[in-house]
Amino acid sequence: MDTGRGLVVVAEDERAIADVERLYLSDTGFGVHLVRDGISALADIRRLRPVAAVVDIGLPQLDGIEVVRTLRAENDWTPIVFVTARDAEVDRILGIELGADDYLTKPFSGRELAARVKGLVRRGAAAPTSPVLAAGGIEIDRVRRRALLDGRPVDLTATEFALLAYLVAEPGRVFERAQLLSAVWGLADYSGTRTVDVHIAQLRAKLGDDVGIRTVRGVGYAFDPQGA
């Protein structure tokens, strides 16, 4: 089987769910390394340097939240999709705030999981023809995957980086949430536009409220280099 898209670590202790995840990711062209507890997940993500990881929140020994928290504290920004059985909005937002790039709530479609992972990897690997963007004190190098604010590096997840780059590429343009969900996440199901708001909030927390990510009430967001 072609595994040319790279290796994905899947951390899932429920065998039936893990089998579905492995099947759909393999069919999409990823190699899959399966672990069933948080300690193994942390060790193998560190060791194998996968292109992405799918991490269940409710892992034994060390839960998924602590796995991702530890990786981010070590400045490891491997793209992460959280999988959770918890349906509360606070859990979803917490997952994103910890540095995960996306999340899915059980039960979910294996095809959707594969599409989310594929989109994350694509955003992380793309080499644009115009690699450097600069506006309003922000400089984005899309080849080196580096963001600077007033000359200082800013640690962003793959999704935060892609979202910021998309906004900064067209200063002043107002994007609807559905447009951003389609362009950055690669999703046509616009029922999940709440995740756009969460990622915008995270960008503002990391960059500061005065960087110029402007909310257009009832519509979406724009990057205004003159300030919010």
Tens digits of pLDDT across the chain (228 residues): 444 578 899 999 999 999 999 999 999 989 899 999 999 999 999 988 888 999 999 999 999 999 999 998 888 888 899 998 876 666 666 777 777 888 888 888 899 999 999 888 877 655 444 578 888 889 998 777 889 999 899 999 888 998 999 899 888 889 888 778 877 876 655 556 788 898 999 999 999 877 889 999 888 999 988 654
CA distance 68 to 224: 32
Q: Is the previous residue joined to 107 through a cis bond, with omega within 30 degrees of 0?
A: yes
159 lies in the same domain as 81: no
CATH number reported for the structural domain that contains residue 110 in this entry: 3.40.50.2300
Which of 99, 125, 151 is where one domain is finished?
125
121 lies in the same domain as 58: yes
Whether residue 93 contacts residue 51, with contact meaning beta carbons closer than 8 Å, is answered with no
CATH number reported for the structural domain that contains residue 144 in this entry: 1.10.10.10
Helix runs in the chain, H state only: 15-28, 38-48, 64-73, 89-97, 110-125, 158-168, 177-180, 194-207
Please give the residue range of the domain that contains residue 162. 132-223
Backbone angles phi, psi at 56, to 5 degrees: -75, 135
111 lies in the same domain as 173: no
pLDDT of residue 183: 74
66 lies in the same domain as 153: no
19 lies in the same domain as 121: yes
pLDDT of residue 125: 58
Whether residue 56 contacts residue 12, with contact meaning beta carbons closer than 8 Å, is answered with yes
**pTM higher than 0.75:** no
